[in-house]
Chain A
Amino acid sequence: MSNSNTKPDGAARLGWAGVRRHPLLLVLPALVLLILIMAVPLITIIARSFIDPVPGLGNYSWFFSHKLNLIVLWRTFVISFWVTISCVLVAYPYAFAMSVAGPRLRLILVLCVLVPFWVSGVVRTLAWVIILQDTGVINQFVIWLGFDKLSLIRTQLGVTIGMTQVLLPFMVMPLFAVMRGIDLRLIEAAKSLGSHPVKAFFQVYLPLSLPGVFAGATIVFILALGFYITPLLLGGPSSTMLSTLVQQQVMSLLNWGRGGAMGVILLVATFGFLALASPFMRRKYDISGGSK
Chain B
Amino acid sequence: MRRILPRILLGTICVLIALWLVAPTLVVVPMSFAEQKSLVFPPSGFSLQWYENFFTNKQWYGSLIVSLKVALIVALLATVLGTLAAIGIERAKGRSAGILRAILITPIIIPGVVMAIGIYAVYLDTRLVGTLTGYVLAHTMLALPFVVIAVGASLSVFDARLETAAASLGASRLSAFFTVTLPLILPGILSGMLFAFVTSFDEVIVSLFITSPQATTLPVRIFASITRDSDPTVAAVGSLTFLATTIIIGAGLLVGTRRGRSK
| Any A–B CB pair closer than 8 Å | yes
Expressed in whole angstroms, the Cα–Cα distance for A36 and B153 within the complex equals 27
Q: Classify the secondary structure of A's interface with B.
A: helix
Expressed in whole angstroms, the Cα–Cα distance for A127 and B21 within the complex equals 12
**Nearest Cβ on chain B to A22's Cβ, whole angstroms:** 8
- A190 is an interface residue with CB less than 8 A from chain B: no
- A158 is an interface residue with CB less than 8 A from chain B: no
Residues of B within 8 A of A208 (CB): 157
Interface residues on A, range: 35 or more
Please determine whether B100 and A122 come into contact, CB atoms closer than 8 angstroms. Answer: no
Residues of B within 8 A of A251 (CB): 113
- B184 is an interface residue with CB less than 8 A from chain A: yes
Q: Classify the secondary structure of B's interface with A.
A: helix
- B70 is an interface residue with CB less than 8 A from chain A: no
Interface residues on B, range: 35 or more
Please determine whether B110 and A177 come into contact, CB atoms closer than 8 angstroms. Answer: no
- A235 is an interface residue with CB less than 8 A from chain B: no
- A246 is an interface residue with CB less than 8 A from chain B: yes
**Nearest Cβ on chain A to B13's Cβ, whole angstroms:** 5
Please determine whether B109 and A270 come into contact, CB atoms closer than 8 angstroms. Answer: yes
Q: Find the A residue at minimum CB distance from B164.
A: A4
Expressed in whole angstroms, the Cα–Cα distance for A215 and B114 within the complex equals 25
Contact check: which of A7, A30, A130, A170 meets B84 at CB < 8 Å? A30
- B65 is an interface residue with CB less than 8 A from chain A: no
Residues of B within 8 A of A1 (CB): 161, 164
Please determine whether A120 and B238 come into contact, CB atoms closer than 8 angstroms. Answer: yes
Contact check: which of A29, A124, A173, A260 meets B150 at CB < 8 Å? A173
- A157 is an interface residue with CB less than 8 A from chain B: no
- A153 is an interface residue with CB less than 8 A from chain B: no
Residues of A within 8 A of B24 (CB): 116, 124, 127-128, 131, 165
Please determine whether A267 and B106 come into contact, CB atoms closer than 8 angstroms. Answer: yes
Please determine whether B85 and A180 come into contact, CB atoms closer than 8 angstroms. Answer: no
Please determine whether B158 and A181 come into contact, CB atoms closer than 8 angstroms. Answer: yes
**Residues 155-174 of chain B: 1 if any A CB is under 8 Å from the residue's CB, otherwise 0?**
01111010010011000111
Residues of A within 8 A of B109 (CB): 222, 225-226, 266-267, 270-271
Q: Find the B residue at minimum CB distance from A100.
A: B10
Residues of B within 8 A of A256 (CB): 117
**Nearest Cβ on chain A to B186's Cβ, whole angstroms:** 9
Q: Give the contacts of A33-68 with B (CB-CB under 8 A).
A: 33-34, 36-38, 40-42, 44-45
Q: Give the contacts of A126-152 with B (CB-CB under 8 A).
A: 126-128, 130-131, 136-137
**Residues 189-222 of chain A: 1 if any B CB is under 8 Å from the residue's CB, otherwise 0?**
0000000010000000000100110111011001
Please determine whether A45 and B173 come into contact, CB atoms closer than 8 angstroms. Answer: no
Please determine whether B28 and A23 come into contact, CB atoms closer than 8 angstroms. Answer: no
With A123-B222, A228-B205 known as contacts, the answer to whether A137 contacts B27 (CB < 8 A) is yes
Q: Give the contacts of B186-209 with A (CB-CB under 8 A).
A: 187-188, 190-191, 194-195, 198, 201-202, 204-205
Residues of B within 8 A of A (CB): 2, 10-11, 13-14, 17-18, 20-25, 27-28, 31, 39-41, 81-82, 84-85, 87-92, 96-97, 100, 102-115, 117-119, 121-122, 137-138, 140-141, 144-146, 148-150, 152-154, 156-159, 161, 164, 167-168, 172-175, 184, 187-188, 190-191, 194-195, 198, 201-202, 204-205, 218-219, 222-223, 226, 234-235, 237-238, 241-242, 245-246, 249-250, 253-254, 257, 260-261
With A130-B41, A212-B153, A212-B157 given, can you name 9 additional A-B contacts, CB distance below 8 Å? A25-B88, A27-B100, A34-B107, A119-B245, A123-B237, A126-B39, A177-B150, A219-B146, A263-B111
User: What would be 21 A-B contacts, judged by CB atoms less than 8 Å apart?
Assistant: A7-B168, A19-B88, A26-B85, A41-B121, A41-B122, A93-B10, A93-B17, A103-B260, A116-B25, A122-B204, A128-B24, A131-B24, A165-B21, A173-B150, A174-B154, A182-B157, A219-B145, A219-B146, A250-B113, A250-B114, A270-B109
